[in-house]
Structure 1
């Protein structure tokens, strides 16, 4: 059975209370990075059924490695710092199918 999307991307946007034992992706500009990825995918004409879907997610439980993104169907996990990293993931992985090794969590 074919997947509805070629790539389904989830951005952790979890926000923990101040002083929590674990970090929060939301404190690492995750919301803005998710919005940037969504905009970039649309600009490149990659959005929609059969192509790419960028979604928000709650905790993906990889807090200490975050901020985190997971790309399905292959289950590739990424971390990022800024829009440059997001652009590289979008342009390399989502547009051209080439995993960005330097940003992978499970290297």
Structure 2
């Protein structure tokens, strides 16, 4: 038996993890991730993505110092984003046009603090 067809064409996980104020790793929520996630959900609906693309909150994606961060599956592409304009660019370029937003894309070399560096 083969795998079933995916339920969604794409799944976007937006980190909305919140740490205490002043934590050395920071948190995506402290940088406005919840508001940006809400904006992304509204824009995705406006673009007609309902039933095709799922925008979800995620707990810690472990790239806190680079946040807010999101990852799009099945592509496995990670982005940092800071503004509604960044969200618009990700949705239009990545989701509609199928291209990457190079200026916002995170690479595997861009890592959060190693466990021995964390407090």
What TM-score do the two structures reach when normalised by structure 2?
0.83
| 8 Å Cα contact 1:47/1:53 also seen in 2 | yes
In our comparison, the structure showing a higher alpha carbon Rg is 2
Q: Where does structure 1 lack aligned partners over 5 or more consecutive residues?
A: none
1:34 aligns with 2:32: no
User: Residue 95 of structure 2 aligns with which residue?
Assistant: 94
User: Residue 59 of structure 1 aligns with which residue?
Assistant: 60
The structure richer in helix per residue is 1
- Partner Cα distance (2:95, 2:74) in 1: 12
1:7 aligns with 2:10: yes
Q: Where does structure 2 lack aligned partners over 5 or more consecutive residues?
A: 109-119
1:46 aligns with 2:49: yes
Alignment partner of 1:27: what SS? helix
**RMSD of aligned C-alpha atoms?**
1.2
Alpha-carbon deviation of 1:4? 1.5
Alpha-carbon deviation of 1:64? 1.2
| Regions of 4+ moved over 3 Å | none
- Partner Cα distance (1:8, 1:19) in 2: 31
Report how many aligned residue pairs link the two structures. Answer: 105
